[in-house]
């Protein structure tokens, strides 16, 4: 893991991923995909409450009245502010699209802590086209989920630099991002920090353990005995002590943000305690019995990531990214619901209250750096090198003078044309025509929607 200055928005792969996310998710949201989701209008309802009375905490229009402090207000108040300019529905679209774009940036910055820039670029592109993100945004309409995770991911490089180098600016920025995470959804801070910030902190401490301090004696004893074990342990403790201390300080700030940002919620829950009954949800079903639930809450979110996940996990577990790989494995298991007894054993009483699809969503996002490495390896890494080497051997059977770059050309003996390889030629022609048409059509559709909003106002 490397500490590098944050210039993510200057990177072409990230800019391409952001453009992809804008066209895909922006086009669907502008077309009204949120209107058919489960939760979008609930969040718009809360936003309407704050638009009507910013400091009011009592909403009388639903369930004979309830207190709005029972839900973190960050996303709802942001929609309420923007609704003054564009109305509630378009404000929801803007905040949701902004959350998606911020999440893509967060994936890129998070991935750079574990893999090279090329793999991080692939991770960002995979995030833009992620089936789990599409399901959360366009089927479930879970704005607080995307908003809070986006800020949590963007907190990770600040936390890493703080633990490793101790820069006060990084501490403040990391704390600010986690405070914004809590304002979006406190559950993301409470549980998500374990799976995203936890691996970052562990790896930063391990890096400190392996990095000799200035002026530290070099070398390592060939044999451990009672005379050298104590000094050796003391040397390692001195290496990690500053990093551990900084990690503990950030932990205190994290807990403080979790308490202060949603303090009205904690005060309400303490003064008016309720007995929480189990919340029925198909994400806790056995996916072997309820296959529809397994399709919606496990297979669709993981999607094509399942193809690369085994190799990506092996690579992660055998490298310095093992804390991240362990986190992905645990999230994948927790996301299986009632298929195994493990989630209930680990979550205890929270099992009957939490919807477990959030763990699957987090798992698909946490896995992207490792899957991005796999894709990058296929394109230009070790896997690509092995494939090229085998192709060169095959090519040299007929072309003895073939160079190492020979397989990089068209793999057939002819360029695809209507006469030679007509099927490949037709597919290429189809994509050359269809891709500009689709992208241009989506851009035109968004422009027409925006024009209609301006005209109607």
Q: Are residues 333 and 433 in the same domain?
A: no
437: in domain:
yes
**What's the structural domain count of the chain?**
2
Residue 286: strand pairing partners: 337
Closest CA to 411 of 381, 390, 435: 390
Nearest to 1 by CA among 160, 238, 108: 160
**Spatial distance between the Cα atoms of 41 and 86, rounded to a whole number of angstroms:** 16
Using the 3D structure, point to which of 360, 379, 398 is the last residue of a domain: 379
**Residue 384 forms part of a structural domain:** no
Residue 401 lies in a domain: no
The terminus-to-terminus CA distance of the chain in angstroms comes to 51
**What b-and-e string marks burial along 210-239, b requiring 16 or more CB atoms within 10 Å of the CB?**
eeeeeeeeeeeeeeeeeeeeeeeeeeeeeb
Domain annotation covers residue 290? yes
Task: Report the pLDDT value the prediction gives residue 447, as an integer from 0 to 100.
Answer: 80
- Residue 5's pLDDT is 45
d(CA 108, CA 41): 30
State the pTM of this model: 0.83
Cβ(132)–Cβ(360) below 8 Å: yes
* pLDDT of amino acid 227: 67
Q: Please give the structure tokens belonging to residue 291.
A: 């296959």
Judgement on whether residues 115 and 238 belong to the same structural domain of the protein: yes
Domain presence at residue 247: yes
Query: For residue 32, is it within any domain?
Result: yes
- Out of 348, 379, 410, a domain closes at 379
Cα-based angle 37, 356, 150 (whole degrees, multiple of 5)? 65
* Domain assignment present for 103: yes
**CA pair distance 146, 43, nearest whole angstrom:** 13
207 CB-near residues (< 8 Å, 6+ apart)? 1, 164, 320
Query: Which of these three, 320, 351, 379, is where a domain ends?
Result: 379
Q: CB neighbours of 60 closer than 8 A, spacing ≥ 6?
A: none
Residues whose CB falls within 8 Å of the CB of residue 339, separated by 6 or more in sequence, listed in order: 286, 287, 288, 294
Digits of tens for pLDDT over the chain (457 positions)? 444 444 665 678 899 999 999 999 999 999 899 999 999 999 999 999 999 999 988 999 887 888 888 889 999 999 999 999 999 999 999 999 999 999 999 999 999 999 999 999 999 999 999 999 999 999 999 999 999 999 999 999 999 999 999 999 999 999 999 999 999 999 999 899 999 999 999 999 999 888 877 766 666 666 766 666 666 777 778 888 999 999 999 999 999 988 998 888 888 877 766 566 777 888 899 999 999 999 999 999 999 899 888 988 998 999 999 999 999 999 999 999 899 999 999 988 888 888 899 999 999 999 999 999 988 888 776 666 666 667 777 777 777 777 766 666 655 566 777 777 777 778 888 888 888 888 888 788 778 877 877 777 6
Q: Which residue has the tokens 């070398």?
A: 219
Q: What's the rounded Cα separation, in Å, for the pair 415 and 421?
A: 8
What the block records as the tokens of 116 is: 């090279």
User: Do 25 and 141 share a domain, yes or no?
Assistant: yes
Is residue 184 located within the same domain as residue 258?
A: yes
What's the rounded Cα separation, in Å, for the pair 145 and 107?
15
Q: Residue 455: which domain range?
A: 420-457
- 149, 137 Cβ separation under 8 angstroms: no
Q: Are 134 and 37 in contact (CB under 8 A)?
A: no
Q: Are residues 297 and 366 in the same domain?
A: yes
Do 297 and 445 lie in one domain? The reply is no
Query: Does 85 fall in a domain?
Result: no
Looking at the DSSP bridge assignments, the partners of residue 337 are: 286
Torsion angles phi and psi, residue 84, rounded to 5? -65, -25
DSSP character for 356? Answer: T
Q: DSSP letters of 103-169?
A: HHHHHHHHHHTTS-HHHHHHHHHHHHT-HHHHHIIIII--HHHHHHHHHHHHHHHHHHHHHHH--HH
Q: Are residues 450 and 368 in the same domain?
A: no
Task: Give the whole-angstrom CA distance, residue 197 versus residue 295.
Answer: 29
Give pLDDT, residue 13: 87
Q: Are 330 and 429 in the same domain?
A: no
Q: How far apart are CA 154 and CA 322, in angstroms?
A: 21
In whole angstroms, what is the distance from residue 67 CA to residue 62 CA?
A: 10
Q: Give me the pLDDT at residue 239, please.
A: 82
H or E element in which residue 59 lies: strand 58-59
Is there a single domain that holds both residue 191 and residue 132?
yes
Structure confidence at residue 9 (pLDDT): 58
Are 447 and 338 within one domain?
A: no
> Same structural domain for residues 457 and 314?
no
User: Rounded distance, CA 111 to CA 208, Å?
Assistant: 20
Cβ 194 vs Cβ 178: under 8 Å: no
Same domain, 424 and 370: no
């Amino acid at each position: 893991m490397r500490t590098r200055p944050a210039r993510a928005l200057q990177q072409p792969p990230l800019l391409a991923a952001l453009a992809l996310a804008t066209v895909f998710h922006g086009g669907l949201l502008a077309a009204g995909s949120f209107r058919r989701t489960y939760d979008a209008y609930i969040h718009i309802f809360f936003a309407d409450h704050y638009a009507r009375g910013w400091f009011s905490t009592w909403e009388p229009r639903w369930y004979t009245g309830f207190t709005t402090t029972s839900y973190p207000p960050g996303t709802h108040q942001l929609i309420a502010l923007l609704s003054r300019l564009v109305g509630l529905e378009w404000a929801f679209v803007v905040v949701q699209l902004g959350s998606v774009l911020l999440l893509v940036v967060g994936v890129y910055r998070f991935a750079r802590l574990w893999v090279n820039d090329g793999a991080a670029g692939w991770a960002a592109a995979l995030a833009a086209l992620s089936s789990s993100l599409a399901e959360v945004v366009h089927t479930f309409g879970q704005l607080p989920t995307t908003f809070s995770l986006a800020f949590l991911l963007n907190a990770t490089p600040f936390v890493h630099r703080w633990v490793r180098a101790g820069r006060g600016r990084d501490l403040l920025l990391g704390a600010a991002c986690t405070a914004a995470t809590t304002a979006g959804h406190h559950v993301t801070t409470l549980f998500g920090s374990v799976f995203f910030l936890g691996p970052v902190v562990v790896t930063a401490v391990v890096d400190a353990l392996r990095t000799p301090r200035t002026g530290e004696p070099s070398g390592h004893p060939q044999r451990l005995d009672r005379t050298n074990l104590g000094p050796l342990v003391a040397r390692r403790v001195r290496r990690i002590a500053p990093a551990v201390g900084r990690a503990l300080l950030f932990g205190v700030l994290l807990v403080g943000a979790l308490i202060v940002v949603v303090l009205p919620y904690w005060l309400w829950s303490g003064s008016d305690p309720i007995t929480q009954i189990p919340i029925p949800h198909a994400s806790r079903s056995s996916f072997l019995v309820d296959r529809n639930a397994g399709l919606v809450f496990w297979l669709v979110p993981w999607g094509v990531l399942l193809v690369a996940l085994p190799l990506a996990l092996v690579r992660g577990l055998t490298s310095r990214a093992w804390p991240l790989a362990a986190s992905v494995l645990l999230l994948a298991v927790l996301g299986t619901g009632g298929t195994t007894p493990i989630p209930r054993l680990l979550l205890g009483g929270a099992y009957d209250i939490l919807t477990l699809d959030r763990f699957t969503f987090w798992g698909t996002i946490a896995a992207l750096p490792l899957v991005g490495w796999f894709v990058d390896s296929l394109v230009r890494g070790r896997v690509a090198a092995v494939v090229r080497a085998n192709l060169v051997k095959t090519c040299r059977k007929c072309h003895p003078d073939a160079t190492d770059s020979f397989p990089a050309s068209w793999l057939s003996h002819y360029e695809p044309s209507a006469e030679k390889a007509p099927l490949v030629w037709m597919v290429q022609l189809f994509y050359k025509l269809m891709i500009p048409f689709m992208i241009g059509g989506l851009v035109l559709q968004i422009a027409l929607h925006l024009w209609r909003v301006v005209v109607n106002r």
